Structure 1
């Protein structure tokens, strides 16, 4: 039965919600009951740590996999905001680690009891290979920049090579097109020359040192006549190497090879077919240029050399994109097949037992996990219910133990309840603006859109859980950091800016689209913004919702005018927010670029203390003045947690490790 207070809050939804709840009850009846059930929201895109980006994916991956360290609640008493701090601790695959005095070398020791779910030993090489896979340009990891603090990682990922440097050349002999990484056979040697071949000019070698571009690593573009687009060619002195991990002996036997980067189905041009070998990639030699080294007779020691001291590096190591994957499984089943339920091998506290699209993911306890005796839950169901109202009904009926998102329309009724768990978060809700779309390419328009929004109305009437209206992107509360604020709510100034941009009273302004993923809260917020822009500026926007996977795809390809977004800090530092918007950053997704901004973010990597924070604050000033994004509010976590669940604690990143939870019998 739906409680009276809930029914009174939205009587017009009661019948529909009840029917939805019954639908899930039927689905529940087909499976053995889970010990713990939570609503994960949207259908996840992937469980590949290197490719995932969202919170729904993160919750699953944190159960299936484990990194060197884990971000765990500290065990201290909650602070005045009811939040318990998180910190990276040695409760992962590493049981100890050391940091050098200069802060640039980290040495991790893999625990002897660490195993994969198939019984294989977890080694430091698993991490080295997984991080190389993440860095490889063809993997396309959106979180790849998390590894850029490692020596040589940026150059490897972007394919930056210079004449005279040691390179690795991947031959063009993959068995299937679905193979991305793992790769074909590798030749290693010194880059002697780099140039281009075209039908008109033949081979032309560059006189100066050349920089390769990973973005051009897939052969030439379409053309009506073969050779219209130059194709890259390389001359490499290749040295013998028994193994890709061996140090390259430059005094040993060598021979010269010519390569042509010609990766499509066309044949090598007949004029050079006998001389040149097809290749997929020419990259810096990973083993000799990237600061990752494996040692120890049992390969249990991983040494990481950083470019500069990075105060938040341990937080990065504890973040799920840096979790290892099982190499043999990836190589056997390929990029598209290794994460399937019947193939996947994991190293975390749980196994992927079942996945039903738009229904649930079922996790079961992993008996091979190094601390299996410390894991209480045997079966977990993560439901894919996008409607917050439907999920709340299921919670009230006892079908769900934890809600990760709540309907805004009754938030004021939920907040006083003892099972409502909330705390301020290191997270921002914002809108991305595609600055390549006219008239969003005009900064005056972007500023007008921001200043025409009554953000307090959104937090008071829509989200209603104590969120703070935002005028900066970086949330408050980071020690020593003073962010920069964008324009406040000012309809008069917003109208003036819009008129100055050529749209007085909204006249001539094209109808634009606000894109959001299917969710009651996102829809309600978009409706308020739609109305504010219409009333205050005289412009029309239409709303378009998409399921999670399609939404992510559209945003990553900037196929939108305006798109809703949210960002939870990966670690407690302003950089986790600001480095997103460097030019061509994988999480930029606005097409915005500013050289001075890029330089400030880069300079912060080598600065310390107040100077570093000042550089980041100056960067945020540029971001807020240019406004490729509109900050809306700072999140607070909003969870409903059954009183039978123990070990659940509010924290600034809203991270709740499943393996530390326990439940009392229903």
Structure 2
């Protein structure tokens, strides 16, 4: 009997444990083809529609083809993107963005402030069903279904917020806030984002070719405002699902970069100069199906949460600087006082270092829920990405839950299927 489907999913921004990326750049910055950089950030993306994407690999591709009002520098600080400058009202609620002169889409058509008005409202539309539509809730009009975002002329965008928020500029650099083409979407529907001829963006690169299961090739966008300062002529995203295949391709110099590798290879690569760790904000979490028993019972959910030995997962599976999550928001995010970390001020829900105490509490909660030692609890299904790292992480709570009498069946799926 199915009692639950759990999902593992990496959130992109504001939804947050330290998930280190495995970065393996080659010694040079050019591949054998000269001006083409061959890299791997994952398999075929589920979507590269800026409004619909919710994965890291898809976002990596999107930020090459699109650009928001602001963009982020190497330190994650928002800097001018499509907007050359902006002003903020004294109460912090009204932002006026001034677009750069002569902005164009990659096909040469003029880009205007009205494109942002359309795109942001499209992202919150129920018809679009964007995963990240809630990120627009800081904008006035969100609850009414029409954002208080106005193009006073082709180069001026006025955004009124519901309340002043200190991170609004960072939001405008997030992929979901990118402008998209109304004419192409209305003419082609969802297929606009799968064909190179209709996937028209405003970013530094444009899609030249997408061969499913093989590669997505992007070439420099000559209509981009900062074209003269771009790097390689082409970027070829080699599409691979399996971690072992990625590592083999890197060793054969078929790709110059991959952001993942088999967990059991980490120790062997740790001291090699090609191996680098880069911290990334994000929380690896389990999502419960609260619409079905027994996961509609918060006592059961808390018991299963406490049964997970986070320190074991970090040390024995992750092995790459991750931190055990005692709460949802990770380290690295400031509190209201920017000199202090939210994690330190907010505290933890649980102490990850006291696993035995957590197990004892988990058993108490199960008994309170009417399932002493797991008796009477239906079989639980855990859904995860079939990548080796995700599989290993899924196997950990599968084993750990048995300590409180709970049996879990692990079901792994290809990443795109898992997302849906």
User: What TM-score comes out, normalization by structure 2 length?
Assistant: 0.85
**Deviation by residue 1:357-411 (Cα, 9 ceiling, x = unmatched):** 1221111111111111111211111122111121011111111111111221121
- Segments of 5+ residues of structure 2 without an aligned counterpart are 1-31, 335-339
| C-alpha distance in 1 between matches for 2:302 and 2:171 | 34
| C-alpha distance in 2 between matches for 1:338 and 1:331 | 12
Verify: 1:517 aligned to 2:372, yes or no: no
Counterpart of 2:348 in structure 1 is 485
Query: Cα distance, 1:32 vs. partner?
Result: 6.5
| C-alpha distance in 2 between matches for 1:112 and 1:336 | 31
- Map 1:274-313 → 2, pairs under 5 A: 286=146, 290-296=147-153, 299-313=154-168
| C-alpha distance in 2 between matches for 1:433 and 1:134 | 25
**Which is higher, the Rg of structure 1 or of structure 2?**
1
Given that residues 124 and 133 in structure 2 are in contact (C-alpha distance below 8 angstroms), is that contact kept between their aligned partners in structure 1? Answer: yes
Given that residues 327 and 350 in structure 2 are in contact (C-alpha distance below 8 angstroms), is that contact kept between their aligned partners in structure 1? Answer: no
- Map 1:187-266 → 2, pairs under 5 A: none
Q: Secondary structure at the match of 1:50?
A: coil
| C-alpha distance in 2 between matches for 1:34 and 1:383 | 15
Q: Which structure is higher in RCO with an 8 Å CA cutoff and minimum separation 6? A: 2
Verify: 1:138 aligned to 2:127, yes or no: yes
Given that residues 110 and 300 in structure 1 are in contact (C-alpha distance below 8 angstroms), is that contact kept between their aligned partners in structure 2? Answer: yes
**Deviation by residue 1:596-633 (Cα, 9 ceiling, x = unmatched):** xxxxxxxxxxxxxxxxxxxxxxxxxxxxxxxxxxxxxx
- Map 1:486-501 → 2, pairs under 5 A: 486-488=349-351, 489=355, 490-501=358-369
Verify: 1:370 aligned to 2:228, yes or no: no
Query: Among residues 314, 317, 321, which one is paired with 2:169 in the alignment?
Result: 314
Return closer, same or farther for 1:293/1:505 CA change in 2, 3 Å cut-off. closer
**Deviation by residue 1:623-649 (Cα, 9 ceiling, x = unmatched):** xxxxxxxxxxxxxxxxxxxxxxxxxxx
Q: What is the number of residues matched between the two proteins?
A: 376
Return closer, same or farther for 1:423/1:154 CA change in 2, 3 Å cut-off. same
| C-alpha distance in 2 between matches for 1:412 and 1:325 | 43
Verify: 1:327 aligned to 2:182, yes or no: yes
Return closer, same or farther for 1:367/1:410 CA change in 2, 3 Å cut-off. same
| C-alpha distance in 2 between matches for 1:135 and 1:499 | 42
Query: Among residues 98, 102, 109, which one is paired with 2:91 in the alignment?
Result: 102
| C-alpha distance in 2 between matches for 1:334 and 1:370 | 28
Query: Among residues 376, 381, 386, which one is paired with 1:508 in the alignment?
Result: 376
RMSD: 1.9
**Deviation by residue 1:483-525 (Cα, 9 ceiling, x = unmatched):** 2423342323322322332223322221111101121100011
| C-alpha distance in 2 between matches for 1:501 and 1:122 | 57
| C-alpha distance in 1 between matches for 2:296 and 2:188 | 44
Query: Among residues 400, 414, 432, which one is paired with 2:255 in the alignment?
Result: 400
| C-alpha distance in 1 between matches for 2:195 and 2:283 | 33
| C-alpha distance in 1 between matches for 2:39 and 2:290 | 38
Given that residues 44 and 549 in structure 1 are in contact (C-alpha distance below 8 angstroms), is that contact kept between their aligned partners in structure 2? Answer: yes
Given that residues 34 and 381 in structure 1 are in contact (C-alpha distance below 8 angstroms), is that contact kept between their aligned partners in structure 2? Answer: no
Counterpart of 2:286 in structure 1 is 431
Verify: 1:68 aligned to 2:69, yes or no: yes
Counterpart of 1:45 in structure 2 is 46
Counterpart of 1:415 in structure 2 is 270
Counterpart of 1:58 in structure 2 is 59
Query: Among residues 193, 196, 199, which one is paired with 1:344 in the alignment?
Result: 199
Return closer, same or farther for 1:471/1:339 CA change in 2, 3 Å cut-off. same
Q: Secondary structure at the match of 1:97?
A: strand
| C-alpha distance in 1 between matches for 2:359 and 2:119 | 51
| C-alpha distance in 1 between matches for 2:224 and 2:134 | 29
- Map 1:73-84 → 2, pairs under 5 A: 73=74
| C-alpha distance in 1 between matches for 2:112 and 2:312 | 53
Counterpart of 1:447 in structure 2 is 302
**Deviation by residue 1:112-136 (Cα, 9 ceiling, x = unmatched):** 1311111111111111111122232
Counterpart of 1:87 in structure 2 is 77
| C-alpha distance in 2 between matches for 1:497 and 1:308 | 39
| C-alpha distance in 2 between matches for 1:506 and 1:145 | 37
| C-alpha distance in 1 between matches for 2:314 and 2:135 | 32
Given that residues 87 and 95 in structure 2 are in contact (C-alpha distance below 8 angstroms), is that contact kept between their aligned partners in structure 1? Answer: yes
Q: Secondary structure at the match of 1:426?
A: coil
Return closer, same or farther for 1:484/1:433 CA change in 2, 3 Å cut-off. farther
Verify: 1:123 aligned to 2:115, yes or no: no
| C-alpha distance in 1 between matches for 2:140 and 2:371 | 49
Given that residues 104 and 110 in structure 2 are in contact (C-alpha distance below 8 angstroms), is that contact kept between their aligned partners in structure 1? Answer: yes
Given that residues 362 and 382 in structure 1 are in contact (C-alpha distance below 8 angstroms), is that contact kept between their aligned partners in structure 2? Answer: yes
| C-alpha distance in 2 between matches for 1:501 and 1:121 | 61
| C-alpha distance in 1 between matches for 2:347 and 2:297 | 21
Given that residues 71 and 319 in structure 1 are in contact (C-alpha distance below 8 angstroms), is that contact kept between their aligned partners in structure 2? Answer: no
Given that residues 351 and 363 in structure 1 are in contact (C-alpha distance below 8 angstroms), is that contact kept between their aligned partners in structure 2? Answer: yes
**Deviation by residue 1:551-605 (Cα, 9 ceiling, x = unmatched):** 111xxxxxxxxxxxxxxxxxxxxxxxxxxxxxxxxxxxxxxxxxxxxxxxxxxxx
- Segments of 5+ residues of structure 1 without an aligned counterpart are 1-30, 74-84, 157-285, 554-666
- Map 1:583-622 → 2, pairs under 5 A: none
Counterpart of 1:596 in structure 2 is none
Query: Cα distance, 1:313 vs. partner?
Result: 0.7
| C-alpha distance in 2 between matches for 1:369 and 1:397 | 34
